[in-house]
């Protein structure tokens, strides 16, 4: 029970922090920011790795291989797409 309370602390504080972080963001950054946060929830790949480490039957191994694979897609694809979007803005800055 204590563990859950400790985790609830983290949960609540992260909610408040998440709300505060994204205030007054110019609308041209909305899409890159969405893409960036999309990449961050790719953290699920960590969970996929953990369950994959513990997988002990063939069926579990197959599903967890798939989980790690699609989780990695989320992470890597998310970051690369975000970077591509932002590289365009870099050109903006130079010309300004």
Partner 1 sequence: MIDSLRELGYLISAFLFILGIKYMGNPVTSIRGNIISAAGMFIAIISTFLQGKANFNNLWFIILAILSGSFVGTYLARVVKFTEMPQMVSFFNGMGGLTIVLISIIEFLHRKTVDKIFTISAGFSGIIGAISFVGSMLAMAKLWGILEKSYRSNFIRVFNSILLILIVLFFGILIFEGSYGWLILVIILGGILGFSGVFPIGGADMPVIIALLNAFTGLAASIAGFAINNNAMIVSGTLVGASGTILTILMAKAMNRSVLGVILGGFGGVDTTSQTQKGNIQEITVQDAAILLSYSRKVIIVPGYGMAVSGAQNEVHELEELLEKKGVEVKYAIHPVAGRMPGHMNVLLAEAKVDYSKLYEMEYINPEFKNTDVVLVVGANDIVNPAAKNNPNSPLYGMPILEVDQAQNIIFMKRSLRPGFAGVENELFFNPKTRMLFGDAKETLKKLINEIKNI
The residues in 13-42 that bind partner 1, with binding defined as CB under 8 A, are 14-19, 21-42
- Is the Cβ–Cβ distance between 35 and 81 less than 8 Å? yes
Rounded Cα–Cα distance for residues 79 and 3 (Å): 32
- Residue 5 as a binder of partner 1 (CB under 8 A): the answer is no
- The two tokens of residue 27 are 């609308």
- Residue 87 as a binder of partner 1 (CB under 8 A): the answer is yes
Rounded Cα–Cα distance for residues 65 and 44 (Å): 13
- Residue 53 as a binder of partner 1 (CB under 8 A): the answer is yes
Min dist. Cβ of residue 84 to partner 1 (A)? 7
- Residue 54 as a binder of partner 1 (CB under 8 A): the answer is yes
């Amino acid at each position: 029970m204590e563990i859950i309370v400790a985790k609830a602390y983290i949960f609540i504080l992260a909610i408040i922090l998440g709300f505060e972080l994204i205030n007054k963001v110019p609308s041209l950054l909305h899409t890159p920011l969405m893409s960036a946060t999309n990449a961050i929830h790719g953290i699920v790949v960590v969970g996929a790795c953990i369950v994959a480490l513990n997988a002990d039957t063939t069926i579990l191994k197959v599903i967890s291989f798939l989980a790690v694979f699609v989780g990695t897609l989320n992470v890597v694809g998310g970051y690369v797409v975000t970077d591509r979007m932002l590289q365009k803005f870099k050109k903006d800055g130079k010309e300004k």
